[in-house]
A and B are shown apart, each in its own frame.
Chain A
Amino acid sequence: MKKFLFFASLAAFIAIATACGRKSETGNCCKTAEAGQQPGSEISDQSIFLLESDWETYRNGRMTLADLSGKVTVGAMIFTHCPSACPRIVADIKNIESALSEDERKQVQFLLISMDPERDTPERMRQFAADHRLNDSWEMIRAGKDATMEIAQVLGVRIKPLDDGGFDHSNIIQILNREGEIAYQQQGLNVDPGECLKQIRLLLK
């Protein structure tokens, strides 16, 4: 009987100890993924609002991507040291902005996401915003290296770091619907804003 008790307690002990060991091995990093599924926040399967990254804004604020919900978003990934392509893509988005009616503009926001978070400090982004005369319906944000890579992958943006600190990168204007789903992507620079406008108006209906 005593022998049986001994083995039984030993077995129980090992079972418990192994279970604990396994837990510590996996860590608790995986819990974060579930945090986004709070009751009440029904996020679409394809929405970038599923990303939980934390962003710093050019006005020294903080935001998450879900804060973009409710409006149509027109955005792009850029970096402020970018010599030619990024100013052109900003100009393309401004063309879209100025073609919208006043009423339409109230339902649209503009977003620039830094692909160079190390150098694009809030001050630097503020300067860029001032240089390009971006109004209040524009937001410019940066995050850590991992979150920057994650959003680039979600948006299908290719980024190749160069020796001089710059990047080769895809030039894509991203149009997101109010739920944060990618509704349209326009590749290239100096493209006629017609198609983007058409897509935005479809989303505003």
Chain B
Amino acid sequence: MKKRIYCLLITALLLTIQLLHIPLSAQEGQTMVFIPAGSYLPLYSGNKTTKVPAFMIDRLPVTNADFGRFIADNPEWSRKNVKRLFADAGYLRHWKDDGTFAPGIAGSAVVNVSWFAARKYCECQGKRLPTTAEWERAAEAGRTRPDGRNEEGFYALILELISKPSFTHLPEAGTTLKNYYGVWDLIGVTWEWTWDFNSALSTGESRGNASLDNTLFCGGGSLQSGDTGNYAAFLRYAMRSSLKASNTVQSLGFRCAKDVAR
């Protein structure tokens, strides 16, 4: 009898170890997808593409529940404790209090987070924020093709998605648009932080710098863009050029990315 108990205990022990180890790697495979090396055509690059090495990106935006766990582990990032240098007064203002939010939004993308908070979150997951080039490369994919430009009806769909009035309640992450790579909600739900969002310069910024294109948003500017059909890309560019890293916006969230292990 005693022997049997020990046997059972050992089996349980082994099982638990297995359970603990397998999910960590398998989970990673499920929560992130691989985007192969390729190129992306930035706005205002004169049709010159940028090479983007292969990378991994989260399938889903970071949710309120995810961010709640981060704050439980890192209380210095709670609404009460966060340093003003790193987040403005609107930080997590849609939450009930320091650590709780309405249960209905647990699975929705977290918003009202600053760039600094987003960056720290990703760092604590062993990840990082995607670069603008990576983010845009992932978002270039249509539903069925890696390049949405060649997919019939995709640009019309983008227009439809972004012209909807903003959500009063953000939908559950992973329920709107899934693209070719299996990445959800890139278009039409929230905007998302990128690591180098501050590479989008607005005209007033660089007075006296002759090399800067100073016709960004008027008609002339849009004709110079490489991809005149992608209205959402214009909006993202405008959004990024208006942001500061400590800003919090109720339609701005994030997801994380990662280098591909070599």
Contact = CB atoms under 8 A, between A and B. Distances in A.
A190 interface: yes
B206 A171 contact: yes
B5 A6 contact: yes
B207 A188 contact: yes
Contact of A17 (B9, B20, B85): B20
Interface in A1-24: 2, 6, 9-10, 13-14, 17-18, 20-21
Interface stretch (A44-52, A97-105, A122-130): A44-52
Given A160-B200, A160-B201, A2 B5 contact: yes
Nearest to B1: A2
Interface in B83-104: 83-86
Interface in A130-178: 149, 152-154, 156-163, 168-171
Contacts, number: 108
Given A30-B124, A50-B85, A168-B212, A158 B13 contact: no
Interface in B189-216: 195-196, 198-201, 204-212
B206 A168 contact: yes
A158 B198 contact: yes
B259 interface: no
Interface stretch (B115-123, B147-155, B168-176, B178-186): B115-123
Interface string B106-118: 0000000001100
Given A153-B245, A189-B208, A21 B73 contact: no
B24 interface: yes
B5 A153 contact: no
A162 B50 CA distance: 11
Nearest to B195: A149
B126 interface: yes
Interface size class of A (residues with CB under 8 A): 35 or more
Interface residues of B, number: 45
A33 interface: yes
A141 to B, nearest CB: 19
B91 to A, nearest CB: 12
A169 to B, nearest CB: 7
B209 A168 contact: yes
A25 interface: yes
A61 interface: no
Nearest to A32: B123
Contacts of A38: none
Contacts of A26: 73, 124-125
Top 4 nearest A-B pairs by Cβ distance? Answer: A153-B245, A189-B208, A160-B199, A45-B84
14 contacts: A21-B20, A27-B126, A29-B124, A30-B74, A33-B74, A34-B76, A45-B83, A48-B85, A88-B208, A153-B115, A154-B85, A160-B200, A168-B212, A170-B206
Given A21-B20, A171-B209, 13 more contacts: A6-B9, A10-B9, A17-B16, A17-B17, A26-B124, A29-B126, A45-B84, A48-B85, A85-B208, A153-B245, A158-B198, A158-B199, A168-B211
